[in-house]
């Protein structure tokens, strides 16, 4: 057989001198990073107000960052965005895992976007730090919304205490509103404290429940039910319809036992199916009705003002706590004091007093 490549005149397999091998570090990547870092406060604000979602995302990343230099830019951006914020309907959506939050948010979201406007879906998930990666606000859980051009989905900020995580979500609401998002959903898992945090930043608190064994009311923390402006029983489809209706009756009866809410609004209980898209219009009808009701009787303003006050105190508390626990002297004293309390060499009160005295002593010296 003839092998043309063995012929000396054959040039096919020789390596031509070509261009230099590029560096394994992508130079463009570096450049885009430094561009991001160079955005000024005004660039951020300008981008956000012009509804640039990429810049909005970058600003939210700064809000979530624990680095002091990021925080100081973030705080300035938030302050400058404040005049553009506030014009939205903020809805908290809560339910235990498996209640159907993501399925429901997907269909609720598409429903509200049918009439136009823009929707941001945020989340508060105090467990996300432990599980390294949030399960709430995850785009893959809201398939249709995730690809909708008018939606912005952001998972729960991961770092810090529940108060810290919640404050970041509240600040993100401000940025989203300034970027033209007129509907905000805040998702949380229905297990307790995080509801209080969500309740303190939304206009309407929606609790998703399931019909189950008939004794479902027992499993629900009273405090969560008292916060709800609407309770919706999901999975009212197929053979589950009657059970869902029965659960709705039980919830309505239970709600009668609570004191009348400050808003004057009687929380409603509805059944629906997120999966089969049944009863969604009625849920929005309820929320619209509530908004008209509280705007007319002035409670809408009262609640937002109360929330602002709450967040002022929350922010003060958080900063004081951080300042205390990040103090070098305190950091060095804590393990020993903790040991002394555990071994009953010191009472908790005296140990706390010693630490606080040391902290305030340090402050005076500064």
Q: Which residues make up the interface to ligand GDP (CB under 6 A)?
A: 95, 97-103, 234-235, 237, 273-275
Least Cβ distance, residue 275 to ligand GDP (angstroms): 3
Q: Which is nearer to ligand GDP, 127 or 354 (CB)?
A: 127
Point out which residues pair with 268 in neighbouring strands: 230
Shortest CB 273 distance to ligand GDP, Å:
4
Least distance from ligand GDP to the Cβ atom of residue 291, Å? 25
CA distance 122 to 132: 17
Structure tokens of 206?
């929606």
If the CB atoms of residues 6 and 140 are measured against ligand GDP, the closer one turns out to be 140
**Nearest C-alpha neighbor of 170 from the set 96, 88, 229, 287:** 88
Instruction: For ligand GDP, give the closer residue by CB, 49 or 220.
Output: 220
Strand extents, DSSP E, 164-223:
183-189, 204-210
Question: Nearest distance from residue 270's CB to ligand GDP, in Å?
Answer: 13
Q: Please, which residue, 238 or 259, has the CB nearer to ligand GDP?
A: 238
We find the least distance from the C-beta atom of residue 274 to ligand GDP, in angstroms, to be: 4
* Least distance CB 231 / ligand GDP (angstroms): 15
CB of 67 to ligand GDP, least distance (A): 32
Q: Closer CB to ligand GDP, residue 156 or residue 234?
A: 234
* 254: its two tokens: 């239970």
Q: Which is nearer to ligand GDP, 68 or 98 (CB)?
A: 98
Q: Measured between alpha carbons, how far is 209 from 104 in angstroms, rounded to an integer?
A: 12
When the beta carbons of 172 and 188 are compared against ligand GDP, the nearer one is 188
CB of 209 to ligand GDP, least distance (A): 11
Q: In whole angstroms, how close is the CB of 175 to ligand GDP at the nearest point?
A: 25
Compare residues 104 and 172 and give the one whose CB is closer to ligand GDP: 104
Q: Which residue blocks in 114-240 are alpha helix, DSSP H?
A: 128-131, 143-146, 162-178, 193-199, 222-227
Task: Say how many CA atoms lie within 13 Å of 256 toward its Cβ.
Answer: 5
Q: Beta strands 204-210 and 268-271: pairing type?
A: unpaired
Half-sphere exposure of 279 (CA within 13 A, CB side): 18
Q: What are phi and psi of 121, to 5 degrees?
A: -110, 115
> What letter would DSSP give residue 220?
S
Helix or strand or coil: residue 195? helix
Tokens coding 256: 């009668």
The distance from CA 94 to its chain's CA centroid, rounded to whole angstroms, is 12
Task: Give the span between the Cα atoms of 9 and 134, in whole angstroms.
Answer: 63
Residue 47 vs 274, nearer CB to ligand GDP: 274
In the numeric block, which tokens belong to residue 108? 């609720």
The DSSP H or E segment spanning 82 is none
């Amino acid at each position: 057989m003839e092998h043309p490549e063995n012929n000396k005149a054959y040039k096919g397999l020789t390596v031509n001198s070509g261009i230099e091998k590029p560096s394994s570090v992508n130079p463009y990547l570096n450049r885009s990073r430094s561009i991001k870092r160079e955005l000024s406060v005004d660039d951020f604000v300008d981008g956000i107000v012009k509804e640039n979602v990429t810049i909005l995302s970058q600003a939210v990343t700064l809000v979530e960052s624990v680095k002091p230099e990021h925080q100081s830019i973030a705080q300035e951006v938030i302050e400058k965005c404040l005049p553009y914020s506030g014009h939205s309907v903020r809805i908290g959506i809560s339910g235990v895992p498996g209640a159907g939050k993501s399925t429901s948010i997907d269909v609720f979201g598409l429903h509200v976007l049918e009439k136009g406007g823009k929707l941001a879906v945020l989340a508060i998930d105090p467990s996300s730090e432990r599980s390294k990666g949030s399960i709430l606000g995850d785009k893959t859980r809201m398939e249709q919304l995730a690809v909708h051009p008018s939606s912005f989905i952001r998972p729960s900020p991961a770092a810090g205490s529940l108060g810290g995580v919640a404050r970041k979500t509240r600040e993100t609401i401000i940025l989203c509103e300034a970027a033209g998002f007129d509907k905000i959903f805040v998702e949380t898992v229905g297990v307790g404290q995080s509801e209080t945090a969500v309740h303190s930043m939304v206009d309407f608190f929606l609790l998703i429940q399931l019909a189950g064994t008939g004794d479902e009311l027992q499993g629900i923390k009273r405090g969560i039910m008292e916060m709800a402006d609407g309770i919706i029983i999901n999975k009212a489809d197929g053979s589950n319809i009657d059970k869902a209706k029965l659960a709705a009756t039980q919830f309505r009866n239970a709600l009668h036992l609570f004191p009348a809410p400050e808003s004057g609004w009687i929380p409603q209980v509805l059944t629906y199916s997120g999966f089969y898209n049944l009863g969604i219009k009625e849920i929005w009808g309820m929320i619209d009705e509530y908004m008209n009701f509280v705007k007319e009787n002035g409670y809408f303003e009262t609640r937002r003002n109360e929330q602002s006050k709450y967040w002022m105190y929350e922010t003060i508390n958080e900063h004081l706590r951080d300042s205390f626990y990040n103090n070098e002297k305190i950091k060095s004293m804590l393990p020993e004091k903790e040991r002394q309390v555990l071994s009953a060499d010191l009472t908790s009160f005296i140990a706390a007093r010693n630490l606080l005295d040391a902290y305030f002593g340090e402050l005076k010296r500064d």
